[in-house]
Structure 1
Amino acid sequence: MRPKSHFSSAISFVIILLLVFYAFYSQTPSSEVKENVPATEWSTARALEHIQALSVEPHYLGSKAHDKARDYIIKQLKSYGLNVTTQSAYDISWNGNMSKPENILARIKGRTDSKNALLLLSHYDSDPHSSKGASDAASGVATILEATRAFLAKNEQPENDIIICITDGEELGLNGASTFVNKHEWAQDVAFVLNFEARGSGGPSYMLVETNGGNRKIIEAFSKSGVEYPVANSLAYSIYKMIPNDTDLTIFREDGDINGLNFAFIGDHFDYHTQLDSYERLDRNTLAHQGSYLMPQLDYFSSIDLTDRLKTEKDDDVVYVPLPLIKMVQFPFSWLSGLIIVAFVLMITLIVYGIKRRRIQLTYLLGGFVPFLGALIISYLITNYTWIGIKESEFYIHQLHGFPYNGYWLIAAAAFIALTISFFLYHKYYHRDRIPSLSVAPIFILWLICLLVAFPVGDGGILGSIFLPGAGFLIIPVFCSLIMLYINIQQKRPSYILLVLLSVPAIFILSPFIKAFPVALGMSILFVASVLTALLFGLLVPITGHYRKKGLLAFMSLIITIGCGVYAFAKAEFSPSQPQSTSLVYIHNQDENKAQWATYDPTLTDWVKEKLGNNPQNAKELNKNSIDSKYGTGFSYVAPAEYKKLASLDIEILSDRLVGEDRKVKLKVSSTETLHRIEAFTTDEVLFKKAVVNGLQVPKTGKSETPFGYRWGNRLLSYYIKDNEPLVMELTFSAQDNPELIFYGASFDLMQRSEFEITARPIEQMSMPFVLNDAVLKKRSIKLVNQQTIVEEQTADEK
């Protein structure tokens, strides 16, 4: 029986709000940092001690702090009674990023065959050159250290071996993982991997599957492991398989055919790879979530039979999504076609039944598409074009992450504008006898989404390449909404309690996506937050349709929208807690005895203008040689600079000879001053038949299937240097070619060198991430013509 008072309506509305709130904040365990936790249990406080020790300063490969981080981890593992070894070798990634990582390895011996080992994985290098790496990935290292300590404190030998692999060079090109998988004898023993990562400094940690086959056995095992706070869904799995991956675990899958699970958090993405990735800004709640993942899985996977390595055939997949109490709902992909067809049949049956009972009228059923589609379309248009209008302002163009400091408030504004529009439109269409009719449109649209993206047709779906069977869990709220429709057909005054219970799957499945999509994929899809909010509202019409104060609720939502928008714009300024990214590079052209100041900044701050002046030149000419950066960011402006007397970037020809129709040249690039990185370029048309760099044969890549076949512009490689070891290249090419090689040697010490007289960066600014920044960049070229080596003239001082 339906309650007859406005009070009961208000109570149901409050319960819905609480459910939405709970859907967000029940994803992670409590952030309370408890002291005196028993030695056999995970302790966030103890893990934080590791993070604090590892994130004192940037510790990128080649830095002194990097060695300190390595030594700290080794010391901790040894204190647990483990035998610790290291592995070091040169490695080059498919896209030309080369380094000499030093992996840290330890092993806990199990009772059974050592060929079925569980591997715990994270990396200890931070991103060059200003990131402190507290989240990415000191948090992962600390998670493994604390879990290993607690596990060993139980004094119980596992069934399977447990390998601890803390890789190096992950930020540069997954070099450490490649070195382990392809060169270490233990790699053959690995049956399954648990990898801990970060792409921000907060929020829930998402589980992502890495497999060349199907996911069924992996998801079944993950469900049985007893994880308390699983944040995992098969839509993320389907999307993840479609896009280029970029974690150490990818190397295990691609090069070793080894299955595994990633656990990574992406909240507060604006901290990623910046100096803000610090101990203080790491969300304690998030760290506790990582621990809540690893502890039960460490016990479970170290004790089960891993002989089959949890491998299944390629299409043996399951749909999965977490729900309250149930933890993980899962069913096979093969059920999708049947479930979608059954849902359609039930929907048509209920419509016919409702018409017969005169509870559904075709006029109002079709009219129900007007407020629902209107809410979807208007919400999309307002949110999308508002973002397009504001994103070119200075506050936003200086944030390369794609997620700005005020991003969460913009998401909230996008969600509430959708609520405002939805309440307003449904207020116009309100009539107590139309609720069953108005409920059909949202159900049909959600069913149509399931049909288009998840219904299998041949090797794909109805939309061809846009086939996301992992989104099949959306059929669950379709069925729940059909039951709600039936109840409203049967009863003019249905029970709010029953309807609210049936709304739980829609709320818990859709609500987290409202926030997650813009955070994960960038604010360019901010409109998704509005669209999903309007969709969720539509699915709740069987409840909210009974509310008679929708006009008042629309007004309240509008006030909240304005409040969120005003606060978002009030936060749209740079400050010490949300600093502006700025950049400065000194380019020392030793070919021409000239120097330049350069910046990546789209607009110049007063601090940058101190060196580049008020009228710098466009950097188009300089960008012909594209320095490697995460998002392809090139220099924006340059200005002449005083040519300083610096140690030269030396190019020495070690050998140059003809072999048949080929020419083989061996050369060395070095400097007496410390270098952290060398970039090598040549002209696009030159193809090399063979290349060996620092004793490492360069694999054949790209469409040409030649060494350095995959090139970003005319870049051959980026070499990240350790212990100032030189770059030695042995190149084989056609004797008819006359290549020019261009080298840039970078040191990350511009801000520390007194001869450049650079004032301290203002407190409301920070070093720009993702680019070669705060660096001295020495340029030197060499032409290989007619078997003779012609080096560009040395500076007058050198002569």
Structure 2
Amino acid sequence: MGDKEKLLISESEGTGSKILTKKSTSKVPWYLATGFLLFWGLLFFAIVIPFFNRLPTARTLDDADKNVFIAERAYKNLYTLSNIGYKLTGSKENEIEAVQFLLNELEDIKETSLKDFFDMEIDLSQASGSYPYKNLLNMYQGVQNIAVKLAPKNCTSETYLLVNSHFDSKPFTPSAGDAGFMIVTMLEVLRVISTTRETFQHPIVFLFNGAEEGMMEASHGFITQHKWAPKCKAVINLEGVGGGGREVLFQSGPNHSWLLNYYKKYVKYPFATVVAEEVFQSGVIPSDSDFTQFRKYGNVPGLDIIQLTNGYIYHTIYDVIDEIPREALQNSGDNILSLVRGFANATELHDTKVFFYIIVNILIIN
């Protein structure tokens, strides 16, 4: 017998017959394992990173009559919003200047909307309340929300889609990426939908909330107290921990697989990772988003989408508009516009609880 092979003779029970079996004792050379790892590393740097950094051409105001997302207009709004300065909850910059800027933009959008096709309602509200958060009891008073409901004329649907982001900031940061980027994206998406002769099934509520950076007070106030909250059956939450590249889908559900099917179907430049969700929900990262409030206190499923390129500027004085190219706004704008339109026509939105119940029972039966 050779060094790398052995012939084993075994006798089967009751028959006395003998069977010769060949067993290999050879080992895989160590350098093949190194080559395997090197292959996947090269694949990551050769394909994944270039794909992540590839952004579409930014559209200008010359394309304004094409009913598409205009990055140039969103960029101008971001310039104005970020230059208000530090929008700390309770400050003049946040409670008066930022709110007035948003109300002016929303009134302009309402004025130019197709009034024969849509009804648009703007609601500025304040909320006070309390809730336990980790090992604290968080109490808040007078936080502000600007909610906009856009509905087709004579719409009878009693289930709404919620789209949310926040305009307040941490101290000492102009918050262009966190989350001014997403606020101006929402403004432009609302503008495009309300000026396009393309109807949809379910009303859309755009929530511009003014108190996230503390412990997500404004979203809690909305989902527990606002008149439209009980009818919001799915949410697209938009967040930022940086800015300048692709946005990433990093949380979904819970449980509602149809949400991911719609993301796959409608998003033009998809980018999602289950690793981010696992890491985030493990509690390793000492951060949170409004998505938690909608899920926990409103039982609203949805998608949590985040801007995370240039994360080193997160919550710093360097979170400025110079870090954000127009192409990044175009990428997110195209994706969110298409996703909102898809969700606003989702048949599953009529009753997400029934849909989930049916899916669970099918899985149990199978």
Q: TM-score, normalised by structure 1?
A: 0.36
Q: Distance in 1 between matches of 2:313 and 2:299?
A: 33
Q: Could you say which residue in structure 2 is the equivalent of 1:92?
A: 130
Decide whether the 8 Å contact of 1:93 with 1:173 is kept in 2.
no
Decide whether the 8 Å contact of 2:161 with 2:203 is kept in 1.
yes
**Given the alignment of the two structures, is residue 74 of structure 1 paired with residue 103 of structure 2, yes or no?**
yes
Q: Could you say which residue in structure 2 is the equivalent of 1:60?
A: 88
**Given the alignment of the two structures, is residue 25 of structure 1 paired with residue 65 of structure 2, yes or no?**
no
Q: Output the amino acid matched with 2:237.
A: N
Cα drift, residue 298 of structure 1:
1.7
Decide whether the 8 Å contact of 2:252 with 2:260 is kept in 1.
no
**Given the alignment of the two structures, is residue 230 of structure 1 paired with residue 270 of structure 2, yes or no?**
yes
Q: Distance in 2 between matches of 1:290 and 1:151?
A: 15
Cα drift, residue 20 of structure 1:
3.6
Q: Output the amino acid matched with 2:50.
A: Y
Q: Could you say which residue in structure 1 is the equivalent of 2:304?
A: 262
Q: Output the amino acid matched with 1:83.
A: E
Q: 1:236 to 1:215 in 2, by over 3 A?
A: farther
Residues 140-192 of structure 1: CA deviation (Å, up to 9, x unaligned)? 11010001101111133321101111111100110000000111121011011
Q: Output the amino acid matched with 2:130.
A: I
Q: Output the amino acid matched with 2:356.
A: T
Q: Output the amino acid matched with 2:298.
A: G
Q: Distance in 1 between matches of 2:231 and 2:238?
A: 20
Q: Distance in 2 between matches of 1:199 and 1:207?
A: 13
Q: Could you say which residue in structure 1 is the equivalent of 2:188?
A: 146
Q: Could you say which residue in structure 2 is the equivalent of 1:444?
A: none
Task: Give 2:248's match in structure 1, choosing from 206, 212, 218.
Answer: 206
Q: Distance in 1 between matches of 2:243 and 2:49?
A: 17
Pairs within 5 Å for 1:342-741: none
**Given the alignment of the two structures, is residue 44 of structure 1 paired with residue 88 of structure 2, yes or no?**
no
Decide whether the 8 Å contact of 1:210 with 1:249 is kept in 2.
no
Q: Output the amino acid matched with 2:92.
A: K
Q: Output the amino acid matched with 1:86.
A: L
Q: State the identity %.
A: 23
Q: Output the amino acid matched with 2:72.
A: A
Q: Could you say which residue in structure 1 is the equivalent of 2:113?
A: none
Q: Could you say which residue in structure 1 is the equivalent of 2:175?
A: 133
More divergent stretch after superposition (54-63 vs 150-159): 150-159
Comparing both chains, which one has the higher relative contact order based on Cα–Cα distances under 8 Å and sequence gaps of 6 or more?
A: 2
Q: Distance in 2 between matches of 1:234 and 1:281?
A: 27
Cα drift, residue 112 of structure 1:
4.2
Q: Distance in 2 between matches of 1:48 and 1:179?
A: 29
Query: Secondary structure of 1:202's partner?
Result: coil
Query: Secondary structure of 2:214's partner?
Result: helix
Q: Output the amino acid matched with 1:116.
A: T
Pairs within 5 Å for 1:165-314: 165-212=207-254, 214-225=255-266, 227-243=267-283, 246-305=288-347, 306-309=349-352, 312=356
Q: 1:284 to 1:38 in 2, by over 3 A?
A: closer
Q: Output the amino acid matched with 1:217.
A: W
RMSD value, Cα: 2.7
Query: Secondary structure of 2:319's partner?
Result: coil
Q: Could you say which residue in structure 1 is the equivalent of 2:15?
A: none
Number of aligned pairs? 301
Task: Give 2:159's match in structure 1, choosing from 116, 119, 134.
Answer: 116
Q: Distance in 2 between matches of 1:284 and 1:26?
A: 18
- Which one has the largest radius of gyration? 1
Query: Secondary structure of 1:146's partner?
Result: helix
Q: Distance in 1 between matches of 2:315 and 2:259?
A: 31
Residues 665-686 of structure 1: CA deviation (Å, up to 9, x unaligned)? xxxxxxxxxxxxxxxxxxxxxx
Residues 748-771 of structure 1: CA deviation (Å, up to 9, x unaligned)? xxxxxxxxxxxxxxxxxxxxxxxx
Structure 2 regions of 5+ residues with no counterpart?
A: 1-37, 111-119
Pairs within 5 Å for 1:314-325: none
Q: Output the amino acid matched with 2:51.
A: S
Decide whether the 8 Å contact of 2:55 with 2:245 is kept in 1.
no
Q: Output the amino acid matched with 1:122.
A: S
